Structure 1
Amino acid sequence: MTIDAAITDNAEAHRYELPIEGQVAVVTYNLSPPNLMITETLVPQALEGRGIASRLARHVIADARARSLMILPVCPFFAAFFQKHPDQADVVHPTYRISLGLPDSAS
């Protein structure tokens, strides 16, 4: 996975932002290294159904991996994303891997 240049990390607001068509899709987080707790994924209704949340998820995962952070997917969308893409579970905190039924590590 690669970093998406259109998505920015607004560290002051504790969220990743993706501006599209005058609106902003966001992933909110709490950072406490080495953990990155993903709390919410918000996509404006007019932009739903276009894969934007998945695009944000792929970016956040790549960023966490690059920064050696472990994701705590409290957000229901992120939890479901990892269940659909267990190959990305290497960045999920071990406790959350167990509770989500994910593999111990990517193989």
Structure 2
Amino acid sequence: METIIKLEIKDNAFARQFETKVETGMVSVEYSFQEKKIFLTKINVPENYSDEELISNFLKNIMETAVEKKLKVVPILPKIVTFFKKNPIYKELLPPGIRI
């Protein structure tokens, strides 16, 4: 199993986003819930931020949260679709009918 660097993630339910602090500000992934699915709709990063490894780890942490809460994950963003392609171990989190 691939190693996951545990990040301190806050689930800001009011803003409907997962958040983690980085040196230059905050990285967040916006979401919406529908039934037992979580739709990942947007990634926000500070200006000129390019730590793709941190963003990938952030998404892995979110996937682990989805596993714990027994949620299916619906990737809306191309960047999150790419994450699923690079990390096939998470494909079981996709709802039936969604192929990547």
**Equivalent in the alignment of 2:34:** 32
**Equivalent in the alignment of 2:83:** 81
**Equivalent in the alignment of 1:71:** 73
Secondary structure at the residue paired with 1:68? coil
**Equivalent in the alignment of 1:103:** none
Deviations 1:37-95 (CA, angstroms, capped at 9, x unpaired): 00011222343135121011101100000000000001111110001111211111122
**Equivalent in the alignment of 2:8:** 6
Instruction: State the number of aligned residues.
Output: 98
Query: CA separation in 2, counterparts of 1:95 and 1:3?
Result: 30
**Alpha-carbon distance change, 79 to 89 in structure 1, aligned in 2, over 3 angstroms:** same
TM-score by length of 2: 0.86
Q: Percent identity, please.
A: 23
TM-score by length of 1: 0.81
**Equivalent in the alignment of 1:59:** 61
Q: Structure 1: any 5+ residue segments left out of the alignment?
A: 101-107
Write 1 or 2 for the structure with the bigger share of helix. Answer: 1
Q: Structure 2: any 5+ residue segments left out of the alignment?
A: none
**Equivalent in the alignment of 1:21:** 23
